[in-house]
């Protein structure tokens, strides 16, 4: 069973293999299943990038896509996540891609369903496909992770992107800095050092901004002066290292985490991240489905 649930389940070797496959897909080459394969995308939380880049990835791989909208499903009649996934498995889905508001939603499924589960974001927990596309974007830029400084800014505590990225970047040899309001620091994320925003930006090769996760806050928080106090202003962008890049998983709160004029500036890789998301998700689906096909002794073939 080749689930993708968190980044820390992946060895460094597996990570580099996924990134290499993604690069191959980018050039128009790579594995496609020869058999009819169904993948269901179950999004219990809103999404634009993850949902549609998985769908484009699935279609580029020639897969049959079963799109699931929670609001038009039997979830409305009280059906559980487990029963929903078990149902899709019974009617022929070969893998499921799931975004869910509950941290670790996948724990209730592990060992009970026999198709691969791909985590497309669990609450404040993990976002492995985002992390892999971020790694691909950094690797394309610098060719390495070792000795890079990556600063992650903003709502660290509620961010599954920060959690997934800080662990893996540290493991791959990068130095991670955190910066943001003290009330959004994460006491359980020990993979970075908290630094004042101007200092973090001056030291960084990658400035990674995070969206304020309003939907996960008990109280509405949007400090009017957030951009000036904690965000990437034009003045701070001028202080970045000459070759440093800007990243943001998006969606972006324009003029909150980043000055709107910087979103498409020369340093920004925000839309490159989205493009890379398709190739990385093709590689993730390959990893999940290749084993399904092997297990079922279906004669998949390789096209290079």
Point out the annotated binding site for L-aspartate: 77, 160, 211
Q: Do residues 193 and 178 lie in contact, with contact meaning Cβ atoms separated by under 8 Å?
A: yes
Size of the site for ligand CP (CB under 6 A): 10
Q: Hey, which residues between 135 and 174 contact ligand CP (CB under 6 A)?
A: none
Instruction: Give the residue, chosen from 62, 92, 223, 251, that forms a contact with ligand CP under the rule CB under 6 A.
Output: 251
Report in angstroms how near the CB of residue 148 gets to ligand CP at its nearest.
21
Please spell the DSSP secondary structure of 185-203, one letter per residue. --TT--SSEE--HHHHHHH
Taking the complex as a whole, how short is the minimal distance between the CB of residue 286 and ligand CP, in angstroms? 20
Interactions with ligand CP, residue window 64-83 (CB under 6 A): none
Q: What dihedral angle (degrees, nearest 10) is formed by the CA atoms of 67, 71, 77, 80?
A: 60
Measured between alpha carbons, how far is 38 from 186 in angstroms, rounded to an integer? Answer: 38
Query: Cβ 50 to ligand CP, closest distance in Å?
Result: 3
Please name which of 119, 195, 205 lies closest in space to residue 169, comparing C-alpha atoms.
205
Quick one: tokens of 255?
């003029």
Distance between CA 33 and CA 35 in Å, rounded?
6
Which of the residues 41 through 60 are near ligand CP (CB under 6 A)?
47-51
Nearer to ligand CP, 50 or 204 (CB): 50
The rounded distance, in Å, linking the Cα atoms of 53 and 233 is 29
User: 50 vs 233, which CB is nearer to ligand CP?
Assistant: 50
**Separation of alpha carbons 201 and 235, rounded Å:** 11
* End-to-end Cα, the chain, rounded Å: 25
- Residue 254 sits in the site that holds ligand CP (CB under 6 A): no
Annotated binding site for carbamoyl phosphate: 49-50, 99, 127, 130, 250-251
Which residue of 61, 206, 250, 284 would you call a contact of ligand CP, by CB under 6 A? 250
Q: Does 216 bind ligand CP (CB under 6 A)?
A: no
Positions touching ligand CP (CB under 6 A) are 47-51, 121, 130, 249-251
């Amino acid at each position: 069973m080749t689930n993708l649930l968190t980044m820390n389940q992946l060895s460094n070797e597996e990570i580099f293999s996924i990134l290499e496959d993604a690069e191959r897909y980018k050039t128009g080459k790579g594995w496609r299943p020869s058999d009819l394969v169904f993948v269901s995308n179950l999004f219990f939380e809103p999404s634009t990038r993850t949902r549609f880049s998985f769908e484009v990835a699935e279609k580029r791989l020639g897969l049959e896509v079963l799109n699931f909208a929670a609001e038009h499903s039997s979830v409305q009649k009280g059906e559980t996540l487990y029963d929903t996934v078990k149902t899709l498995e019974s009617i022929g889905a070969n893998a499921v891609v799931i975004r869910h508001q509950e941290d670790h939603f996948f724990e209730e499924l592990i060992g009970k369903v026999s198709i691969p589960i791909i985590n497309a974001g669990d609450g404040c927990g993990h976002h492995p496909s985002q992390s892999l596309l971020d790694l691909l974007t950094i690797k394309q830029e610098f060719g390495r992770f070792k000795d890079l400084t990556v600063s992650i800014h903003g709502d660290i505590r509620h961010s599954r992107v920060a959690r997934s990225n800080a662990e893996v970047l540290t493991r791959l040899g990068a130095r991670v800095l955190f910066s943001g309001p003290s009330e959004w620091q994460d006491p359980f994320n020990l993979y970075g050092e908290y630094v004042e925003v101007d200092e973090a930006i001056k030291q960084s090769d990658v400035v990674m901004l995070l969206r304020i996760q309003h939907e996960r806050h008990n109280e509405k928080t949007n400090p009017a002066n957030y951009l000036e106090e904690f965000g990437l202003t034009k003045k701070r962008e001028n202080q970045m290292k000459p070759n440093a890049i800007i990243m943001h998983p998006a969606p972006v709160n324009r003029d909150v985490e980043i000055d709107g004029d910087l979103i498409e500036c020369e340093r920004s890789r925000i839309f490159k991240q989205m493009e890379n998301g398709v190739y990385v998700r093709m590689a993730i689906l390959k990893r999940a489905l290749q084993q399904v096909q092997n297990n079922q002794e279906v004669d998949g073939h390789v096209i290079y």
